[in-house]
């Protein structure tokens, strides 16, 4: 499907004109075109890429085939770059859709295989704008990229919610078998977010440096702000990953401390049984002549000695804070 916005002298002059009329509009000096190709047919690709603009074969090939990473390439009269729009849900996690942008002096061509909400939002916004305060197709490109960055906010909110749930589980002494897979899964998602954002930030930073002659100085501050937003998302992902590991370490230390407390109590209880075992073992031996058993007060003295030994062990352990 082809969607076309036509601006003449900074004002919206047409929406979805016939494809046959685009060649004439492209030649007019005061006309700007934004042509969006969403899941286009081979005939539509040929009509726009080859017949209308005569793009380089490598550009056409890169558009119709998936590119795993964003990139930026300059040609004689246009600028070609690839970005990736992100979608996130708790079921599908992170998915990305490639968006190809070709920026010329008086046109912007966008290409994507799947419907993209940021593209639709940008088109609707441009339709509502009867005039553009900053004239140029680079304005279209920035508007579109800005909506793509905004699309990261729902993902960040969900990731923040998952992190808070894990931290609450740490305080609630959740079983490690339940907690550990959640920590690993969230850390993997944060790493994936960084892998998505970092190369796009590099492209945005390169655009904001003003080296591309088709990006005017008036747009550079907006692109720098875009680059800073992407850098903030990346730093947020790094910070949350560190916070996640810290929370899990706290959980492990807490579990280890509780286990040590249990072992210490069991050890103390074992130590308290030593006096009865020694005394009982001695007096329980079946020797024929044991003077210790012949006395009238032998058994009471043995019991008193046993209790006194236990009491002494209790005092000693409490002094050492073992009990």
> So what's the pLDDT on residue 177?
67
Residue 246 has pLDDT above 80, yes or no: no
pLDDT one-digit tens code per residue, 19-28: 888 888 778 8
pLDDT one-digit tens code per residue, 9-44: 777 777 778 888 888 877 888 888 888 888 888 888
Give the integer Cα–Cα distance in Å for 273 and 75: 87
SS3 content of the chain, % helix, strand, coil (to 5): 60, 15, 20
Cα angle, residue 30 at apex, residues 136 and 99 outer, rounded to 5°: 40
> So what's the pLDDT on residue 175?
64
**Least-confidence region, from 81-90, 266-275, 309-318:** 266-275
Q: Indicate if the alpha-carbon torsion angle 12, 14, 15, 19 is positive or negative.
A: negative
Instruction: Please report, for the chain, the start and end positions of each structural domain, with discontinuous segments joined by +.
Output: 2-253, 273-319
> So what's the pLDDT on residue 75?
85
C-alpha pair distances (Å), 163 with each of 66, 96, 135, 236, 259: 32, 22, 43, 12, 26
Q: What is the mean pLDDT of the segment spanning 216-224?
A: 86
DSSP secondary structure code for residue 136 in this structure: S
> So what's the pLDDT on residue 264?
65
pLDDT, averaged across the chain: 78
Please check whether the domain covering 2-253 is classified as CATH 3.30.460.20.
Answer: yes
């Amino acid at each position: 499907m082809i969607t076309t916005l036509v601006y003449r002298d900074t004002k919206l002059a047409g929406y979805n004109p016939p494809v046959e009329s685009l060649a004439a509009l492209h030649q007019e000096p005061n006309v700007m075109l934004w042509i969006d190709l969403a899941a286009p047919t081979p005939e539509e690709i040929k009509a726009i890429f080859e017949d209308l603009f005569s793009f380089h074969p490598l550009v056409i090939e890169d558009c119709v085939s998936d590119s795993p990473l964003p990139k930026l390439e300059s040609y004689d009269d246009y600028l070609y770059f690839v970005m990736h729009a992100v979608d996130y849900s708790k079921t599908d996690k992170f998915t990305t859709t490639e968006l190809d942008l070709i920026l010329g002096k008086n046109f912007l061509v966008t290409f994507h295989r799947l419907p993209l909400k940021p593209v639709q939002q940008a088109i609707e916004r441009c339709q509502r704008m009867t005039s553009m305060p900053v004239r140029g197709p680079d304005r279209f490109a920035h508007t579109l990229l800005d909506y793509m960055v905004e699309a990261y906010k729902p993902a960040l909110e969900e990731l923040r919610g998952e992190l808070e749930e894990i931290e609450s589980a740490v305080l609630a002494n959740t079983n490690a078998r339940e907690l550990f897979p959640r920590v690993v899964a969230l850390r993997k998602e944060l790493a994936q977010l960084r892998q998505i954002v970092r190369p796009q930030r590099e492209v945005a930073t390169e655009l904001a440096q003003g080296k591309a002659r088709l990006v005017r100085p008036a747009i550079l501050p907006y692109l720098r702000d875009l680059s800073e937003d992407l850098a903030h998302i990346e730093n947020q992902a790094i910070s949350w990953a560190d916070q996640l590991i810290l929370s899990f370490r706290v959980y492990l230390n807490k579990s280890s401390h509780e286990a040590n407390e249990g072992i210490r109590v069991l050890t103390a209880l074992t130590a308290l049984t030593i006096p009865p075992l020694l005394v009982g073992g001695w007096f329980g031996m079946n020797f024929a002549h044991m003077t210790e058993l012949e006395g009238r007060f032998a058994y009471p003295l043995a019991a008193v000695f046993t209790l006194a030994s236990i009491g002494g062990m209790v005092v000693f352990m409490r002094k050492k804070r073992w009990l």
